[in-house]
Structure 1
Amino acid sequence: MKLIACALALGIFGVQPLYAGETVDVDVGGGMVVKLAKDRPLKIAFFSEGTNNSAMTASIEGAKEAAAKHGWAIDVSDGSFDAVKQSNQIANALNRDYDAFIVKPLEGNTMCEPASVTAPQRNILVVNAVLPICRRSGKEGEAQWSPGTLAYVGGTQTPDAFLEVLHKVRELAPGPQKVGILTGNDLNPITLNFEAALQRFLAETPDWSVVAKARTDWSTPVAFEKAQPIVSAHPEITLYFSHYSNMTRGIVQALEAAGKLGNVKVFDAGGTAWAKQAVKAGTIDFTTALYLRSNAAASIEAIAAAQRGEPVPRVIQNEGKPITKGALVQFIDSSNVDAYQPEAD
C-alpha cells in the first residue's frame, strides 16, 4: 500500500501531483478547473504539426520568443505530419511535469480526449491553436473552442474564411474558369475546411470547373513535383490556386519551367515573404495575411493571463491580431502590399 501511495504521489500511474506552492484556479469549462502554478516560471509543451514549411517554423519561433519573455521553458514536439506520432507525443507528455500544452493537432478528433479531458484532469492547461479539436474543425467563431481547454486561437482558415477568399478570386477572374488546385494533406483540418468551402463555392459558381487537384505536404518541393504533371497534362487550365503560399510557390515554379508563367492567373492564400514579393512583381494577384508567429505568441500570452488570474477569451480570432473591417480575411494586393509585414518566409 505504501508503494502504491508513493507511486500516485509521483504521478507514475498518470496522476499529476498537485503543485505545493501558490496556485490560481483556471476555469476551463465543462465543470473542470486547472490549478496553475502562480509563483514560478511555467514549463510548456508545444505540439507542432510538423517543421517542414515556413508557417510551422514561424509558429515555433513565435512560441519560443513569447515564452522567453516570461522566462518559461518550452519544449517543441514535431508531429512530422503523422497523427499517430503526435498522439504518442502527447500521451508521453501527459506523464511529465508540464504546466501547459499548446496543441496544433494534425487530426483534431483524436486529440480531443487527451487535450480536453485527460490534460485538465492531470492539472495541465491547454491552448488549442490553428486547428480545432473535438470535431470542431468546420465550426466558426465561438464554436471553435472545446470545453476542457483554456482557449482556441485562430479563425482565419475556417470554411467561411476560405469562402471569402474564393469569392475574391471570382471577383478578379470573372466568367468561366478551368481550375487547377493544390491543397494540404488528407485529413488535415485546414485541408478539410478548404474542401468544404470549395464545395459551397462550386455549387454557387457553376461556370467553374476543377480539372485537376493534388494533395501535398504543404512544402514547395512537393508542390512543384505535383504541379509539373498538371501543368503539362492540362493546357486548358486558366487559373491556379492553393491555400498556402509554399504550395503556390511550387505552382509558379512549375509554370515558369513550362514557359507558361503569365499566361494563366495564379491566386494565393498564406501571406509569406515570398507571396509579398510575388504580389509586388505581379506574379500573383493577391495573397491573404496569415500571422502564425502571432498565433503562437497569443497562445503563450493567454496562458500568462491565466497565470495572473485574468479572464481569457474562449476564442481569440485572427491569430490574435485585430479583426480587419469585421472580415475573416485580410487581402494583400498592390494597394497595400508595401505596408504588409509577413511573419513567415
Structure 2
Amino acid sequence: MFKKVGAGIMAAAIAFSASSCASNAGADQDKPLTIGLSIGIESDFFNQFRQAMEDEAKKEGINLIAFNAKGDPNAQVNHIQDFIVQDADAIIYIAAGAGAAGVPVKNARAADIPVVTVDRNPGDSPGDTFIATDSVASSKRLGEYVIEKTGGKGNLGIIQGQVGTTPELDRDKGFTEAMKSATGIKEVARQASKLWGQEEGFTIAQDMLSAHPELSVIFARADGMALGAAQAVRGAGRDDIQIYGHDGDPAALQAVLDGTLVATMTQQNQHMGRLAIESAVKLARGEEVPKEQLQEAILTTKENAAEFLKTHP
C-alpha cells in the first residue's frame, strides 16, 4: 500500500550523497558498528521510531546507544559529544526543535561522523541523508478530506507544532495549499505548541473555544495535540466540532475508530525506523544514500484505522 514518494517519477532527479567521512569510508564490513541515537522529544510517535530502530539494530548485531533529550537542545549537544568520545560510526539525530538544531550535526561532521536526520532537518546543517514523511503531501491530502467532510464551510482553528521545525513548516504548506480551494472555511484561530504535547493541545483548544465559540473544525498538527483538543471539546460539552490529527499514533487510531477524531494521517514509523538504521550503516561503510528519503502517509478514517491499529507500518 505504501511507497516512497516520488519513486519512478523522481528517481532520475535524486541526488546521492557519498559519505565524506574518511574515517568511516574504509570501515571493516565485518566489524560490529556503533550507532548513536539522539531523540529530541518524548512522544508515542518517536517511541515507535526508537523501538523499530532498536529491533533492527539487534537483528543486525549493531551496538545502538540511545538517549532522549526530552525537549532540551543542549542535552542533544552533549549526546553528540558522548557519541564522538565513544567513536560512533554514525549518528541518527531527531532534533528537539528549530533553535540551534544544526549544532549537533556540525559537531558530528567535524569529527568525521555521518549523520542521519529524521523527521526534522536543520536548514543550516542538513544531515547526510534525511528521512521523513512527505508532510506537504500528507497535509494537503488531509486538507482535501476536511473540505470533503465539512462541505467546504466552517470556522477553523489550527494547533501548530514547534514553529520553525521541518514538520510544522511542511504541514502548514500542504494544508494551506488545500484550503485555497475552500473559500467557505475561515481560519479564526492559530496557536503554536512547544513540544507537540497532549497537555498543550488541551490548553490551546480551551483557549480557542473560549475566544472563538464559533469554532467548528480543529486541525492539530500532531495526534497527541489532537487528543488533547478532543478532551477540551468534550469538557466544553461540544459535539459539533470536527477534530483532525496527523501521525497515526495508536491512541489516535483508536480515537478515529471511536469517532473522537474524524481522521489522521498514518506515518510509516516502523519502516522509517528500520530505514534509519539501514542508512546509518551504509553511510558508516562509505556507501551512497539519497540526500532525502521522503515516505508516504495514508489518510486514515473509520474505514481503515483498525488495519493500522493491528499492524502499524
TM-score by length of 2: 0.81
Equivalent position of 2:116 in the other structure: 127
Match of 1:99 among 80, 89, 106: 89
Counterparts of 1:94 and 1:343, CA distance in 2: 36
Match of 2:146 among 159, 165, 169: 169
Per-residue deviation, residues 287-340 of structure 1 (Å, max 9, x unmatched) = 21122233222111223455677654443332xxxxxxxxx4311122222222
Classify 1:313/1:208 alpha carbon distance in 2 versus 1 (closer, same or farther; 3 Å): same
Match of 1:245 among 223, 237, 256: 223
TM-score by length of 1: 0.75
Match of 2:71 among 81, 84, 87: 81
Counterparts of 1:268 and 1:88, CA distance in 2: 33
Correspondences of 1:44-63 after superposition (within 5 Å):
44-51=35-42, 53-63=43-53
Classify 1:205/1:83 alpha carbon distance in 2 versus 1 (closer, same or farther; 3 Å): farther
Q: CA RMSD in A?
A: 2.8
In structure 1, give the amino acid aligned to 2:30: D
Unaligned runs of 5+ in 2: 1-15
Counterparts of 1:314 and 1:180, CA distance in 2: 35
Identity among equivalent pairs (%): 21
Counterparts of 1:54 and 1:302, CA distance in 2: 23
Counterparts of 1:59 and 1:155, CA distance in 2: 13
State whether structure 2 residue 300 is matched by structure 1 residue 332: yes
Classify 1:71/1:332 alpha carbon distance in 2 versus 1 (closer, same or farther; 3 Å): same
In structure 2, give the amino acid aligned to 1:40: K
Give the CA deviation at 1:103. Answer: 1.1
Equivalent position of 1:297 in the other structure: 274
Counterparts of 1:91 and 1:78, CA distance in 2: 14
Counterparts of 1:187 and 1:87, CA distance in 2: 19
Q: Is the 8 A contact 2:36 2:66 kept in 1?
A: yes
Q: Is the 8 A contact 1:183 1:213 kept in 2?
A: yes
Give the CA deviation at 1:104. Answer: 1.3
Correspondences of 1:80-229 after superposition (within 5 Å):
80-107=70-97, 110-112=100-102, 114-115=104-105, 119-120=108-109, 122-134=111-123, 146=126, 149=128, 151-157=129-135, 159-216=136-193, 217-229=195-207
Counterparts of 1:48 and 1:295, CA distance in 2: 14
Classify 1:291/1:171 alpha carbon distance in 2 versus 1 (closer, same or farther; 3 Å): same
Counterparts of 2:108 and 2:92, CA distance in 1: 11
Q: Is the 8 A contact 2:141 2:299 kept in 1?
A: no
Classify 1:121/1:134 alpha carbon distance in 2 versus 1 (closer, same or farther; 3 Å): same
In structure 1, give the amino acid aligned to 2:200: V
Give the CA deviation at 1:30. Answer: 7.9
Classify 1:101/1:181 alpha carbon distance in 2 versus 1 (closer, same or farther; 3 Å): same
Correspondences of 1:251-290 after superposition (within 5 Å):
251-260=229-238, 262-290=239-267
Give the CA deviation at 1:82. Answer: 3.0
Give the CA deviation at 1:79. Answer: 2.6
Match of 1:233 among 202, 206, 211: 211
The structure whose Rg is larger is: 1
Classify 1:273/1:107 alpha carbon distance in 2 versus 1 (closer, same or farther; 3 Å): closer
Q: Is the 8 A contact 2:73 2:101 kept in 1?
A: no
Counterparts of 2:225 and 2:99, CA distance in 1: 26
Q: Partner of 2:234: helix, strand, or coil?
A: helix
Unaligned runs of 5+ in 1: 1-26, 137-145, 319-327
Counterparts of 1:57 and 1:31, CA distance in 2: 30
Q: Partner of 1:94: helix, strand, or coil?
A: helix
In structure 1, give the amino acid aligned to 2:235: A
Counterparts of 1:329 and 1:291, CA distance in 2: 7
Give the CA deviation at 1:108. Answer: 5.9
